[in-house]
Chain A
Amino acid sequence: MYNTIRDLRGQRGLTQAQLADQLGVSRQTVIAVEQGKYDPSLPLAFAIARLFQLPVEEIFRPDGP
């Protein structure tokens, strides 16, 4: 699954560790999600959407960019 987390994080000037802190997960998890190597659970996906104040489907897409 494709996601725009890296871009959104960059726009907000957040580091991976800061984002991980705000989401209550490890930096390892943020890296894996950003690289598309791990698709987060629904609760985590909604937490990400809430943090960036965007709908989930705008952040996660089944296809590429």
Chain B
Amino acid sequence: MEQNVQYAQKTGLRYGLELGTAAVLFVAAMAIREPLANGAGSASPLVLALPVVPLWLMFVAIWRHYLRVDEFQRLQFLKVTALAAGIGLFALASLPFLGGFGVPREAGDVLWLVIPVGWVVSLAVVNLNRAR
């Protein structure tokens, strides 16, 4: 029994740690990038592209978690991921039309909000659906 609980805990912990580290790196990269991007315009493209690295680290963390879990968890995880991706995609596609309401037109300005909110909404929807 303990073996199973320990494995589940370890899997969840590892996923949280990997995703959390990538998220912290993303925030740090954005913090470094923003003053440079809004500055004189002489910032290196490499520095400006810095947030791309933690973004893909998040993807790697998600993929590694997908490979670790069993078939039922994988199905649930895929549902959450697909729904979150859909929410994110449509939210970002809506941006250019909402500029009149003061919504930023650049995806990079709202990505930090769209991804976690989309994920939380998807988790809630999939878990509510499963509970029925």
Contacts and interface: CB of A to CB of B under 8 A. Distances in A.
Nearest to B74: A29
Interface string A1-26: 00000000000000101101100111
Interface in B5-56: 5, 7-8
Interface string A24-65: 111111001100011011001000000000000000000000
Contact of A40 (B1, B5, B71): B71
A26 B70 contact: yes
Contacts of A21: 1, 3-4
Grouping DSSP codes into helix (H, G, I), strand (E, B) and loop, the A interface class, with mixed when no group exceeds half, is helix
Contact of A15 (B1, B70, B71): B1
A28 to B, nearest CB: 6
B78 interface: no
Interface in B65-100: 69-73, 75
A25 B69 CA distance: 8
A12 to B, nearest CB: 14
A33 B72 CA distance: 9
A58 to B, nearest CB: 22
A11 to B, nearest CB: 18
B8 A28 contact: yes
A37 B130 contact: yes
Contacts of B72: 25-26, 28-29, 32-33, 38, 40
Interface of B: 1, 3-5, 7-8, 69-73, 75, 130
